[in-house]
Structure 1
């Protein structure tokens, strides 16, 4: 048996991916990190699969609760109640109708969940990962910032210092939906930067990948949006699944599972667009930004052990 820790496994693409991984790999034990209030939407099934799922109460917008979850996973791994850890899937993501939502730690919520939480979980779990292991972070092609990739719905990312991006009000007219969506695309660009930097630092045998599901209607990502946007997402956008460039939730989940399980081959640091390795945006390749983001995150949340060099 072996374990994979996963965020965002309670709904949408993540839930579909989790169930596919458990079906395809009978030796897999899934550790799902989610808020207890969302347990009704979880991955649990009324059959033997249920015995291979452990749910740990976690709030990805709260640094203290993330660390508590890491401590709990570590205790179970060290105590042998969880099998060896062979992977991590950072699939959780948030998007808001403004750029003003603030966490208990004073961080802008989009950046906190989409970037900080992934880094903190990886730092905490790294010493427990057993090679060969695969880390997958779900990103978004909205980071390209062009019509082809965002359907005109999401503004292009706008990079600035991580110390600015991590705080509420980082974008023009921060109380608008446009600012909230720009915070989302920028956070996904930051997540790709983070994948690149981690890939340079991870030990041999532990790979990290960025997975882009492309556009998938009905995932619940817009659940914090206004009434008009929710109606468009619910009734109009699902019709786009007839297009070969758009996937259903079940299809996108299967493709994510393929990446996590290694059925989609890719070298560490790669950007996987649904089923194929390709280049992310030109802007996403910037070693100076990537190092600056790493340094900011390390200073924001001092590690308990020495950082990989």
Structure 2
């Protein structure tokens, strides 16, 4: 029976995804920092579907926490407590408005949560994937500055990993929360494509995929928005207006099920960008900047430096 690890699988899109995966008989590893909610979700999935659900404490914004969780995951695989991973779903994400805040590692919180933590997680666990395994990154259409989605909360800037991680700056300008979010998601797509190229160069059959679930009001991305405003954003009239102006809207349940489809189905291709739109899952072109291989290589190199990846941690499959 396949085993899939997901970050942020206890709420929002991630929760709908794991419900679908569990219904298909997939064993789940739920990784997150809220252990009480993880345990509650795990118990409900076990009762409803009879699958094995394991919880793994992990804060995706904290490099030390990721290292501890990855080591625990590898130990569970070696002991037979869980099976080798069929997929890693890098799904957790958040927006943080206002002035930049920083993690214990000294890195800007949006960049660390949405991109850098998952970069390290994949490096540490890719050797634990099955030969035909898969990595799926939950991205966002807001990463593309040439689209309505990309203009809605702030156009992404060309990423400089060191500047984004250490200062939250673009040149001498401090990035507002919206741009910090969209730029972090631009990094996610660049990473997904670069990982695909490196896997193929190594002769591996592991897939790397980027996914945009569409704008959804009932997710953690609006955690800082007051309740009445959040309800208004999710209302039919406002969603109709958002769609009229060209925004890509998702559906909580269907977008989660689409993520599950990307995790297990054979009809998806590595190195591609998929989007939930108009009631269906489509492959589409991402932002022009995401196809810049030199930029992607620089982002990869700088990310390795930021997470301080040691020779012992470097995945055998990508050496």
Q: What pairs up with 1:63-142 in 2 under 5 angstroms?
A: 63-142=63-142
In the other structure, the counterpart of 1:193 is 190
Segments of 5+ residues of structure 2 without an aligned counterpart are none
Residue 296, structure 1, aligned to residue 293, structure 2: no
Alpha-carbon deviation of 1:66? 0.5
- The superposition leaves residues 29-53 of structure 1 with CA deviations (integer Å, 9 ceiling, x where unpaired) of 1001011355268533161536521
Q: Normalization by structure 2: what TM-score?
A: 0.87
RMSD: 2.2
- Structure 1 CA distance, aligned partners of 2:50 and 2:167? 39
In the other structure, the counterpart of 2:283 is 277
Alpha-carbon deviation of 1:57? 0.9
Residue 33, structure 1, aligned to residue 39, structure 2: no
Cα separation, partners in 2 of 1:247 and 1:261, compared to 1, 3 Å: same
- Structure 2 CA distance, aligned partners of 1:41 and 1:231? 29
In the other structure, the counterpart of 2:41 is 43
Q: Normalization by structure 1: what TM-score?
A: 0.89
Residue pair 2:146, 2:287 contacting (<8 A) in 1 also: no
Tell me whether 155-164 or 299-308 shows the greater mean CA deviation.
299-308
- The superposition leaves residues 213-272 of structure 1 with CA deviations (integer Å, 9 ceiling, x where unpaired) of 1111211211124x3xx5332223332556595232111111111111116x22211001
- The superposition leaves residues 111-147 of structure 1 with CA deviations (integer Å, 9 ceiling, x where unpaired) of 1011111111111111111121111000000011245
Residue pair 1:88, 1:136 contacting (<8 A) in 2 also: yes
Segments of 5+ residues of structure 1 without an aligned counterpart are none
SS of 1:133's partner is strand
SS of 2:107's partner is coil
SS of 2:41's partner is coil
Residue 215, structure 1, aligned to residue 215, structure 2: yes
In the other structure, the counterpart of 1:286 is 292
- Structure 2 CA distance, aligned partners of 1:211 and 1:40? 23
In the other structure, the counterpart of 1:255 is 258
Residue pair 2:139, 2:210 contacting (<8 A) in 1 also: yes
What is the total number of aligned residue pairs between the two structures?
A: 299
Alpha-carbon deviation of 1:148? 2.3
